[in-house]
Each structure stands twice: as structure tokens, then as C-alpha cells.
Amino acid sequence: MPKPVLRLLAAALAAALLLTGVVACSYINGTIHGLVRDAETGEPLAGVPVTVGSQQLLADAQGRFQVQGVLGIARVRAAVPGYKAAQATPLPAGLFSREQNATLSLTPVALEGTALDATTGEPVPGAWVRAGDVEAQSDAQGHYVVKRVRPDATITAGATYYQDAAPVPYEGQATLDVALTLLPVTVQVRNLYSGEPLPGVTVTAGGRQAQTDAEGQAVYDRLEPRSEVTAALAGFATSGVQAASPGDTVAIGLRPDTLQGSVRDQAGQPLAGALVLVRAPGQEPRLAYSNEAGAYQLEGVPADAAIVVRLAGYARVERPLGHETEADFVLEPFEAKGLYIPFGLLVRGAEAQVQEDLDLVLRTEMNTVVIDIKSDRGYLAFVPQDPLLQEIGAASDLVVDIRQVLQECRQRGIYTIARIVAFKDNILAEARPEWAVLSAKGGLWRDLEGLAWADPFREEVWGYNLAIAMEAAALGFDEVQFDYLRFPSDGDIFDMVFIKESFRDPRCQAIADFLAYVRRELDKTGVFLSADLFGLVTSVDPNQRLGDLGIGQRLIDVAPWVDYISPMVYPSMYEPGHLGLADPWRSPYEVVKISVDDAQKQTTTLIRPWLQHYSLFGVAYGPREFRLEKQGAADAQAHGWLFWNAGGVYEPAAFDPE
């Protein structure tokens, strides 16, 4: 081998020996600098145990560690619960450096799987899966991944509307599917008033029906979130909740809406035909009538209702119903004895006479006033609320506030009757000529006073008068009384044109149909209903050709629809020979007694006559005659009486003191 080559090899060998010596020297007393971090986030991991060769230490708060005096090449290893262990063999920082660097990236331990509905097997989005103190949420496909799972962890899972899954110990498994059971919905139904559980209630939820058990409960094992739940049971108002979700316990209180009871007199005898009315603001009234045993039953009774019991011949009862499901009533007899306050006294400036009449009622045997609220000209004594009444424009701005008069009557315990002139109505006829009695010669037909009439055959006219009656009830009157409940009787009666042929039977039917129509609606208010009739109808054979006096008035047609009939048995309206009396004008007792007796032969409806309180054509009537009229009514067993004076002026001596 040539010498130059030998010299080159010798030099290389010397360099290698020199380098080996340097490296060996650096490992004799070297320093290792290290960093422990999360392999996913890159964040340092504090307090991680690190093993360097045979030495053990902990990474500091920044995940760093340092070891000095490391001999030789040392393996570095880090392990912490929740991560896979990692190791590295550090190298010198430089050729002649004793410094070494080691970075340990720890990969998190992961557990993944799918959250499933235990019944359907469908994925459950939004479920939580917790392994020890770490947690993840399932995605739209029910998939979850929990990372950094510690070996001692217990795996739990749950979701909104689901029961928590049973705990599972973590044993290093990489996958785990969790089955979740939907929570049931428990429906508890009770009597709202008594609090008692209600068995046999039909509960409807999510389109499915169930019956409550003996404890008043129904359980739905699978119900969609925010489902509507209703409960229904005969005798109770249906109720429910708008949004029930799995896991809820729904409490529903059913309000009893059936009311039953009896109506009796003070002797304990049952009273048949009594109106029992239940009403509440904004609710349709409920009504029933007592049977022969005095019993009644009402279904669909609204909450916060008032109950009214009304029967002719007795004082009306009205009171809040409260939580009653059974209510018995004892009615006290009542006879109206009173006087008439004409429309003219309601005009401002006449208040003194009205007050005098009210004072007279309080001082004497009387207990009632009849007040004109629609005059024989068609004017109204109140400001109407009904649009039709407003449109016709019959309200007078000259009258007093009728509500003040009524309030005083209520405070004084005075029974109030609203008198309504029905078909004699000049204002309505002129405002609605198509509803009026027409003349064969053309235009409106008019009576001897020059006043037009509404056609009694017209249902539009019925509706107009009903609207007035309903407003009278709303104002607080105890009773509504219709006068001029007939066809016209004075004037050229052969010139009248109606929408129907005006024979006896159609006339009588029209009056009866009108009263039936009114009665049906007024019963929803609880007021009494009465009718004024000519006194002669009490003694005329209704089956004669003119048994309706030619005006459509017969007791047998009117009686079934009213509580009281008030025939105007004024002696001054009878001609000599009427009722078998030579001089009826001077026979006040006999006229009243005979007329009431005759009326009671035709009907069982209570008769409460109008009596004459005026003198006419030279025949003077005073306290004696007035008292004879009262005596005639009493002896005929009339149910009270009413005195008529067109001026509203009465003789105190005609009445017994209170």
C-alpha cells in the first residue's frame, strides 16, 4: 500500500478516535431538557410523571422537565392516565454538547360508539356520554367520541327525555354503544274541587288514548316531546295541557260541570217548571227546568258562574254557584202589587213625581213599579247598545238615566217591570216602512191618533222588540211586560195591508209565535215575562169567529209563553151589559172579580190584573173604588195587581200601610 494512503487512513482513524472520545465524554455528565404535550392540541401537560433512565420526576406547570447528570444515552418515557404512554431517545443538542432535548407527545385514550334508542334502535342525537370526569355529546347520527378516558373511569350516558343508562366500568375497550330508554309520561287526573283522584278518565296524548287507573293515573311509555294531553270524563269539563314531554308528570284537574238538585216551596213540596239558569261572562248560558219531582240537572256548567232560579209566583233567587255540584232551592212566594210610572215622568224635570211614587210604594203594601221603557209612540227610555236599536234612532235625549231609577229601586227592594209597547210603533214604522202595516191606498196605515204600526207578522219586528227586551234585562229589570201585543183595533181597519192574510187563526198564531220567540231568548237572562191584554179577552169564547176580538188576543194562545197575564180589567172599558152587569163602570168589585174568575177558567197561568186608578166621563173613582178593585182581585185569588194611571199620580188612601 502506498505511503500516502497509509498516512490518510492513519489520520482518519485518529479523527474517529478523537470524535468517539468527545461523544463519550458528553454522555458522562449530560443534561436532558424535555416537554410533555397533548398530541392533539399541542398544549403542555402539567404534572405528568416522566422516567429518564432510572430517574423519575414530574413535568412542571408548563409541561417541562430537566434532568442533569445523565450517563450515556438514556431512554425518556412519560405515562399518565387518559393518555397512551410515549417514549423517546434524546440526542445531543450539538456535536460537542452535553445538552439533550426530548419532546413527548401523548395521544389521548379514546372511547367511541353510538347512542341508540333502546326500543327503536334509532340514533339519539344530543346524548351525553361521560367517562369519569370527561364527557362528549352525540352528533346527529348518535355517534360520540370521549377522549382522555382514565382506566378507573365509569361510563354513564343519558339524554333529554331519556332515562340515564346503567353505569359501565371502563376496561380499556375502544368502542361502546349505549342504549337509552325513553322516559314515560305520567298523567295524574284529579277532581279540581275535591282533589280526589279520578279513575276511568279518558286521556288522549299523541293520538293515543288510555284510561286512568284507580289512582287516577295513566302512563304513556313513549310520547313525543311537547305533546298535547287532554282528559275527559262525563260530568266534568274537558281539560289538559299543551306540551307534555317524556319524563313529565302531568297534573290535570277536571272541573265538575254537572249540577243537579231540587226546587221546592217552603212546605217542602216539589215545584215543577222552575227555570234553573247558570251563566258566566262570555259563556253561553245553560238552563234546565225542574220536573214534576222538582228535580233538575244541568251539564256543561261554566266556571265562575252565577245561578238563577225563577218560577212564576215566587221570588227569583240569584247567587254565585262556587264549587257546588248539588244545589237545592227553597222558593218564597211573591205577589207583585204596584203602580205604573209612565214615559212622561221619565223626562227630565219630572223626577219629583217619580220619587213620590217610589216613596208611596215603600210606605204601603206595594212592592212593585212598572216603568215605560218603550212608549206608545215608540220612544226608548234608555240609550241602546244594540246596533239595530241605535240605527232606528228611537232613544230620547230628554229622559233621565233609567239606570239611576233602577239602582234606587234595587236599593229599596222594589220589584221592577219594564213595559214595552210592542206593535204600535210609529218610529219603527217610519224608519222601516217595509216592516209596517200599509194602507191599501198606498203608504203607511195610521190609526185614529195618526200613528203608524209595525206589522205583527214581520219577524224583523219581533227581533226589534226582542232587542229592547234583552236590553231591559241587561239594565237589571226583574220582569219584561209587553203591551199592545195585538193587531190594530181603531181606525180604518179595512184599509190595512199585512204581509199575510189577517184572519183569526193567523193573527193568533203570530202573537203566540212572537211570544215563544221572545221567551226562548229571555229565558237565557232569567227575567220574568208577562203580557198585557184587553180585559174583554178573559170573558170571550176563544173559539168564536172573533174570539180574538179581531186583534189576535186570546188567553189560550198567550198563556203558555208567559209567567203572568195582566188583563186590563178597567171598569170604564166595559159597556152596560158586559159581564152581566147593568152598569160596569159603577161596579168595580164585580168587574174585577168576574174577569179574573173567567180568566182562570181558561188557563192555569197566573193572573195579575191591571186595575183602574182614574176617573172617566163623570164617574168618579177614589180610595173606596180602588179598594173594591183590590178586593175583587183578592177574592178571585188573583196573583197580585197593578194600578194604572196615565199621569202616574196615585191616591195614598187607596193602599194599606206597610
Among 372, 383, 265, 377, residue whose Cα is nearest residue 314: 265
Same domain (yes/no): 449, 549: yes
Among 653, 593, 658, residue whose Cα is nearest residue 337: 658
Q: What is the pLDDT of residue 154?
A: 96
Same domain (yes/no): 396, 474: yes
Q: How does DSSP classify residue 341?
A: E
Same domain (yes/no): 466, 534: yes
Q: Which domain CATH number covers 304?
A: 2.60.40.10
Same domain (yes/no): 433, 507: yes
Is 154 part of any domain?
no
pTM for this predicted structure? 0.78
Q: What is the pLDDT of residue 18?
A: 35
Q: Which domain CATH number covers 103?
A: 2.60.40.1120
Q: Which segments in the chain show pLDDT lower than 50?
A: 1-2, 4-28
pLDDT tens across 82-97, in order?
999 999 887 665 555 6
Q: What is the pLDDT of residue 29?
A: 62
Amino acid at 447: D
Helix (H) or strand (E) holding 10: helix 3-28
Q: What is the pLDDT of residue 93?
A: 53
Same domain (yes/no): 263, 240: no
* Total count of domains within the chain: 4
Amino acid at 393: G
Q: Which domain CATH number covers 587?
A: 3.20.20.70
Domain end, chosen from 331, 354, 384, is at 331
Same domain (yes/no): 465, 435: yes
Domain end, chosen from 275, 301, 331, is at 331
Phi first, then psi: give them for residue 460, nearest 5 degrees: -65, -35
Is 569 part of any domain?
yes
Name the residue range of residue 500's domain.
Answer: 337-654
Helix (H, G, I), strand (E, B) or coil at 345: helix
Domain end, chosen from 256, 280, 307, is at 256
Same domain (yes/no): 224, 271: no
Contact indicator for 72, 27 with CB cutoff of 8 Å? yes
Q: What are the Cα distances from residue 158, in Å, to 140, 529, 543?
A: 15, 70, 88
Same domain (yes/no): 51, 200: no
Same domain (yes/no): 497, 423: yes
Q: What is the pLDDT of residue 13?
A: 39
Surface-to-core class of residue 347, CB atoms within 10 Å of its CB (0-12 exposed, 13-18 middle, 19+ buried): middle
pLDDT tens across 366-415, in order?
999 999 999 999 999 999 999 999 999 999 888 999 999 999 999 999 99
| CA 466/CA 490 separation, integer angstroms | 25
